[in-house]
Chain A
Amino acid sequence: MFGLDKYHYTASKSLMIYSFFSSGPKGTIHKVARFSALAENVYNFGFGDYEPATGKTSDVVNSNNGDAAKIMGTLGSIIYDFTNVFSEAAIFVHGTSAAKTRFYQFSINKHWEEINPIFEVIGLKNDKWESFEKVINYQAFIERRKDDFLLK
């Protein structure tokens, strides 16, 4: 999607789980992303580091593997692929901290010219939903595909 640098990823049979490996100075880190149903056609999108030793996922530690842009490109591609299959899906994105939410916003801002024609993005500010604008900092986002850009 958008010609972004990204990692190869695989999906579970349900297409709700996506897995890829971050590679950088701190070695190889297994990343897992999951879509979880919140309401009809509304999904939460979360991701974190999979820890083989415990079999659990977390984002307690900031991986700092020098590949944040490539990870964001991968997550964007996962959302794009997911909404190709589940074309009515609205994807809820909410960072586990204000800093992470700001980083998501930074990534949307950076690629807004490519995202805007394809996705309708709605931002939450002061507990009110409004159409996304680059200059505003939001608490959370919901995005869904614009009909004209759904693959037929």
Chain B
Amino acid sequence: MKAKKKDFIIQNNKPLITVDPSLPDFEDDPYFEKKTQAAKKLLRRVGLPPQLTKKSI
């Protein structure tokens, strides 16, 4: 988790996001997985907002 060389992201004129290549993606982190599964469970029950269907889904 130590900070190493940092790169920068820029897309057109969008702001910079500093990228730390050493930062892991926490793919198997139980805490984040638990939160993700809880969110999926809630959305399965209530569905997505109908407003999103116009643009995102």
Contacts and interface: CB of A to CB of B under 8 A. Distances in A.
A140 B42 contact: yes
A120 B15 CA distance: 21
Interface residues of A, number: 51
Interface range, B side: 35 or more
Interface of A: 8-17, 19, 30, 32, 34, 36, 38-42, 44, 46, 48, 50, 52, 56-59, 81, 84-85, 88-90, 92, 94, 96, 120, 122, 124, 127-129, 131, 139-140, 142, 144, 151-152
23 contacts: A9-B18, A10-B19, A11-B19, A13-B19, A15-B9, A15-B17, A36-B39, A39-B57, A40-B56, A42-B48, A44-B35, A44-B36, A46-B35, A48-B31, A57-B31, A81-B17, A84-B11, A85-B17, A88-B56, A92-B39, A94-B35, A127-B45, A144-B56
A147 B29 CA distance: 34
Where chain A touches its partner, the secondary structure class is: strand
Given A12-B20, A30-B1, A152-B13, A38 B36 contact: yes
A8 B15 CA distance: 14
A74 B35 CA distance: 20
